Amino acid sequence: MGVRITLPDGGVKEYPEPISALKVARDISPRLAKAAVAARVEGVMRDVDYEIKEDSSLEIITDEQPEGLELLRHSAAHIMAEAVKRLYPKAKLAIGPAIDNGFYYDFDVPESFSPEDLGHIEAEMQKIIKEDQPFSHWEMDREAAIKEFAAQGEDYKVELLQDMEDEQVSVYQQGEFVDLCRGPHLPSTGKLKAFKLLHVAGAYWRGDSRRPMLQRIYGTAFPKQKALDEHLQRLEEAARRDHRRLGKELDLFSLQEEGPGFPFLHPKGMVVWRALEDFWRQEHRRRGYEEIRTPIILNESLWRQSGHWDHYRENMYFTEIDEDTYAIKPMNCPGGVLLYKRRLQSYRDLPLRYCELGLVHRHELSGTLHGLMRVRCFHQDDAHIFMLPSQIQEEIEAVIDFIDYVYKDVFGLNYHVELSTKPENAMGSDEIWDVATEALGRAMDAKGMVYKINEGDGAFYGPKLDFHLEDCLGRTWQCGTIQLDFMFPERFDLTYVGEDGKEHRPVMIHRVIFGALERFIGILIEEFAGAFPAWLAPIQAQIIPVGDKFLDYARTVQSRLGDGNLRIAIDTRDEKVGYKIRSAQLEKIPYMLIVGEKEESAGTVSVRHRQLGDLGCLSVDVFQELLQEEVSTKALAPKQTTVSK
């Protein structure tokens, strides 16, 4: 009986007998067959040599497609694991998936891998690629697989198999290397052309700190060397901008062994913090928000009522006071709710907008901590808006405008939006969730904004709009969020007196803009590579006297500029001017003001900018006016025509 193959363009090919996906690709085009790495048969990803035995839809997958690139990287992980087993026979295999921008494999080895070891492993991978070993696949009985992997001493594979429910399991082999894997994979190892092993990190087995610490080798792979080279250049730029390195070099913040995940802000870091905080406070006042502060420790009963006890407890810290259980708050919202309830509210009071820069604590696994980006305590620039049902769309649109202003107009950042819908552990009925989700979508549509649906990723109490910032390297960071909540008002029995004199239920919006202030600072450090715009810079101008005899004039200049609330420092070291200029450049100070005999006589400063270089001489008053304008307008860069030589 023949086989009828339907192609993506609607075309049909008929064959008198079963045929492999690769042969169909060859029948379509020899070039397509050469590029093929897998096939999608009836919507299921298969190896390219998969035999099609009945009428099916077929799409040939190449390594230029996202699915093909993921498959290529997964295959690279297997090739790396084979190389490790060749070089280190005592290594035990854990898991090795493809991930965003690369792949990794976890190993249990007697001694940690070194950077030199990565070079040896890469060389062995090249040998395996040159051998062009075919990837072969078969199914085997789960119990038989357990016995086989146990005989090889592969304890982690045995554990994975024991946790499976399927009686048949999928196995792949290339050369002498056999691994438990669903696939699919490249046709052969020779199809891997461009790869690079990047670094080694520790990783607990199954992410559990009580389990063995494994060695995780990260790598990346691309279809072509040019794409790999471009990616490696981006990684170099990312390393240059890494906020952890710059935070140390610029003396902004640190993370101490005594407090993993609990950042310490240094004096210079606090200047950046206060500048952002002042901006945050000013903009909220303009938009009718009232600032509040709520305690960081509240009784267990509150967290049970809010739903956090049932839905978020594993991420919370607890303490005992007077033999009663209290929680350190992971979120600010229950405290804001209590303030709303302190008195009977009228419809005339709504919308009521409370904002709070609140300190929250969340338990994060040690392996997930990352500088300021992923911490265990952070300050959320929270706001909770209590409103009439009729005010929902207007308030959501106002928050969208606020976020857009901060991201685009003030910081020049691009972003995209995701609408996250009801998760599995959600509170409330589908009907309530549908109403809330549709309201968020309507507000986005009214603003003419594009967004995508992120199924099942809403908060447990309501759907949300998540704003993902895109940095200069193309990476995204989820910061802002708008959550529409019908559940908290219900659970806390929130009411307001309507025009009819009766009590009604308000609706809540939970929203943040910076997200976590710590993370936002980390993003800005990397976005600006530590060279903050003048309004955020810890030191806005450094005065460099040509010699000690001009220190008095330098102090006079500092006093006059400081009277304008500018942050001015003096380099009093007994060093040459060139050395001081280079030092200020390394500290990424926006302006350097050189003062010597000529400047003192004329009452001027010789102005130099960290990027634009020598800008000539200006009177102190004129420079003060120009810098104050740059700071007050929150300019991201100086006007190049501001100063003339």
Does 519 qualify as catalytic in the annotation?
A: no
Find the catalytic residue in 362, 376, 567, 609: 362
Instruction: Choose among 255, 215, 265: nearest CA to 108.
Output: 215
What residues have CB less than 8 Å from 35, skipping those under 6 apart? Answer: 62, 63, 64
Closest listed residue to residue 193, CA positions, set 140, 163, 247, 229: 229
Catalytic residue among 40, 185, 216, 464: 464
Q: Is 645 a catalytic residue?
A: no
Q: Contact at 8 Å (CB) between 532 and 637? A: no
- The C-alpha atoms of residue 177 and residue 414 are separated, in whole angstroms, by 45
Q: How far apart are CA 557 and CA 74, in angstroms?
A: 62
Catalytic residue among 382, 466, 485, 571: 382
Cβ-proximal residues to 376 (8 Å cutoff; 6+ apart), any chain: 260, 261, 262, 361, 362, 363, 364, 369
> Would you call 264 helix, strand, or coil by DSSP?
strand
Active site residue 229: no
From CA 464, how far away is CA 448, in angstroms rounded?
18
Q: Which amino acid is at 83?
A: A
CB 272 within 8 A of CB 280: no
Among the options 384, 519, 588, 608, which is catalytic? Answer: 384
Task: Name the active-site residue from 133, 173, 215, 380.
Answer: 380
Residue 625 and residue 104: Cα distance in Å, rounded?
54
Q: Give ∠ CA 63-200-476 in degrees, rounded to 5.
A: 60
Backbone angles phi, psi at 239, to 5 degrees: -65, -40
How far, in Å, are 44, 413, 571 from residue 580 at the CA level? Answer: 64, 33, 7
CA 291 from centroid of its chain's CA atoms: 28
Among residues 280, 322, 326, 318, which one has the least CA distance to residue 302? Answer: 326
Among residues 559, 587, 563, 562, the alpha carbon closest in space to that of 573 is found at 587
C-alpha 538/C-alpha 349 separation (Å) is: 40
Q: What is the DSSP string of 196-238?
A: EEEEEEEEEGGG-TTSPEEEEEEEEEESSHHHHHHHHHHHHHH
Among 510, 567, 580, 588, which one carries the catalytic annotation?
510
Catalytic residue among 333, 355, 377, 617: 333
- Is 206 tagged catalytic? no
Is 208 known to be catalytic? no
DSSP H helical segments within 528-633, as ranges?
Answer: 551-562, 577-586, 597-602, 620-632
- Annotated catalytic residue 380: yes
384 is catalytic: yes
> Catalytic residue numbers?
333, 362, 380, 382, 384, 464, 510
